[in-house]
Chain A
């Protein structure tokens, strides 16, 4: 590389220049190359005549093929004009050597940014370009841009969810307000809610919720909302709006959002509440469920317990609903899955079971003889089965036969004794009981022989023998 004095190093004093002029021309090239990452010597027309790369910037690759070719061939389209402008400034003899950022391209595959200073050489129109590799900064820039793209994606996703949420609020028929318990203010509300206060929506959003009602302070409102939200099946809060004097029923639910407790509150005008309550059926049914002398139980279609009244819980010695909720009813039936299978099969086929006799067994082993009825409620995924269990021990007590009945039985026995030997009487009685039990099991299981055998504690083969004995087998039943 031709070592020539660099012209117009304007920031140096004359004394400094004199000292720098003492540097041996032979070593100047090496010094320049070491001071910059990439050094190019170009003709006035912009053709590269010499190129040196700093050893520390070896990852720029081999650029020897640039020598002898115009530097414009290795600049991106948007940087060619910047290069031309810098050369023009140099030719005009501009005294300022402003740094110029240029993006190089090589074989259109990769680009790299270099910050150059341009320096004219005294000998001819040639000039020197001293470049600083900007790739580390470009990498930081790339990461910044990627972070920004990620943010923008997040904004778009948030906007989509926000739109769905607002559309949902706008389309539901209920009047909804969201109240932040942190400051007691309404964080959002739909138009239906605003209408109940006779105010525009923008006026109620941000307002203290308690201030929209008569005679209630913020702390009291917070406590009412929390208590009502946390008590299962609690009555709604009745309040009167301060502006329109309208009576509203508030049904709150509480949840946490980012550390803040938020209450989502459904508002219903009192007249609407009264209209719903006017038929009285709902409250009557609730009262019946709570106070019934029969055990009432709701399960899904496979017998998983969903709800039960106090009486049922008392029958199975359960302390509270969570102790049995989610368990299978078969766990509480004397014959377990057999009992449940028989009932469910009949409910599935006929929609109901009128009477089914079994025992309820508690986790502690106590047994309560019951007569059960079952009925199918609803269809599809939400279908349920309602069971009613009557304590048959009490029923038997009620059904004590009258004394004259007892006398008749005594009379029958008197007639029987003596007419046959004891062994014959016992054997005949045995047959009668056996026949009755088999007949009942067959009826209960809707002629399901496997279930009937299991219910009677017999093998399938033994059941068939007895069925044949009592002439219960129809033609073609025995295969």
Chain B
């Protein structure tokens, strides 16, 4: 098709129209591909997962580069944090159980995965999004009224804090006001809960010993407040407590964020709205 010069008043040529159509198609395909990646039903691509696992085991590992490389492969930030990093952590646990790796190696690699989450925390920050998108004063007033106030707790002795970090990130992405506390003793945790009115307390743990710590914390709380906020236990500990009798203070044992949030204290002012 011969090209000819167009002026501002000329009607668009057929080649121009085709170019526009082609660019629309290419853009649509790109968005759909990204969308497929993002909503793959929570399943990780085995090839990408294997690459990630190799990366985090590589002595030359760099968390920023590794995270950026996953994004460059078309993965959404949410997919990296919610699907690939947890899958790699599960693989790590399985490898230790099967004696394919030492616990020292497992600790180092788990730390690296957690470091990768750190890069995603910054870009997933809810406050940053709202700062750009909404009228600020309105946002603050609304958020103060509407968002649940959640304490995410990891007790002293829990050395695996990847789950704690992940749940914190996911909650913040949902717009929940999160106070994240690590390495807390039962007394310190009860003090924090006494000072702030939390709608929900999520406890992340990998040890069965956490049950004793929860009981001790609740004992402290009963001396201070009449009604303890709902407690939900999650993390790899739930695989260890099949037959263990649980305290009545624990409202749910789950690794599902939706299920955990459904346990939150109902805010009466919200209900009336």
Contact = CB atoms under 8 A, between A and B. Distances in A.
Interface stretch (B67-75, B79-87, B106-114, B218-226): B106-114
B183 interface: yes
A137 interface: yes
B180 interface: yes
Contact of A156 (B127, B132, B180): B180
A145 B159 contact: yes
A165 to B, nearest CB: 10
B128 interface: yes
Nearest to A192: B136
Contact of A101 (B103, B118, B127, B140): B103
Contacts of A141: 103-104, 107, 159
Q: Which of B121, B159, B208 has most chain A Cβ within 10 Å?
A: B159
Contacts of A163: 127
B182 interface: yes
8 nearest CB pairs, A to B: A170-B136, A145-B159, A141-B107, A100-B99, A149-B183, A149-B182, A137-B104, A148-B111
Contacts of B140: 167, 171
- Chain A contact-residue range equals 35 or more
A326 to B, nearest CB: 40
A144 B111 contact: yes
Interface in B89-129: 96-99, 102-104, 107-108, 111, 114, 118, 121, 127-128
Given A144-B111, A153-B182, A166-B128, A134 B118 contact: no
A301 to B, nearest CB: 36
Given A144-B107, A149-B161, A82 B131 contact: no
A191 to B, nearest CB: 7
Interface string B162-173: 000100000000
B15 to A, nearest CB: 33
A101 B99 contact: yes
B103 A113 contact: yes
15 contacts: A78-B97, A82-B97, A86-B99, A98-B99, A100-B99, A101-B103, A138-B103, A141-B107, A145-B111, A155-B121, A167-B136, A191-B136, A200-B132, A201-B132, A202-B132
Given A166-B128, A167-B127, 16 more contacts: A82-B97, A101-B96, A115-B102, A134-B103, A141-B104, A141-B107, A141-B159, A142-B159, A148-B161, A152-B161, A155-B118, A166-B131, A170-B136, A191-B131, A191-B136, A202-B132
Interface of B: 96-99, 102-104, 107-108, 111, 114, 118, 121, 127-128, 131-132, 136-137, 140, 159, 161, 165, 180, 182-183, 208, 240
Contacts of B99: 82, 86, 98-101
Contacts of A201: 132
A144 B106 CA distance: 12
Contacts of B107: 141, 144-145
Contacts of B118: 155
B259 to A, nearest CB: 24
B182 A170 contact: no
Contacts of A85: 98
A138 to B, nearest CB: 8
A142 B157 CA distance: 10
A411 interface: no
Contacts of B102: 101, 115
Contacts of A171: 136-137, 140
A477 to B, nearest CB: 59
A152 B182 contact: yes
B127 A81 contact: no
Interface in A57-95: 77-78, 81-82, 85-86
A145 B164 CA distance: 14
Given A140-B104, A144-B107, A77 B180 contact: no
Nearest to A163: B127
Contact of A144 (B98, B108, B208): B108
A87 to B, nearest CB: 13
A171 B108 CA distance: 42
Contacts of A153: 182-183
A152 B165 contact: yes
Contacts of A82: 97, 99
B233 to A, nearest CB: 16
Contacts of A159: 121
Interface string A192-214: 00000000111000000000000
Nearest to A152: B182
B50 to A, nearest CB: 22
B203 to A, nearest CB: 16
A170 B133 CA distance: 12
Q: Which of B97, B99, B111, B161 has the most CB of A within 10 A?
A: B99
Nearest to B168: A156
A82 B93 CA distance: 12
Contacts of A86: 99
Contacts of B180: 156
Nearest to B160: A145
From B136, B137, B140, residue with most partner A Cβ within 10 Å: B136
Contacts of A200: 132
Interface in A79-138: 81-82, 85-86, 98-101, 113, 115, 134, 137-138
Contact of B127 (A98, A145, A152, A166): A166
Nearest to B98: A85
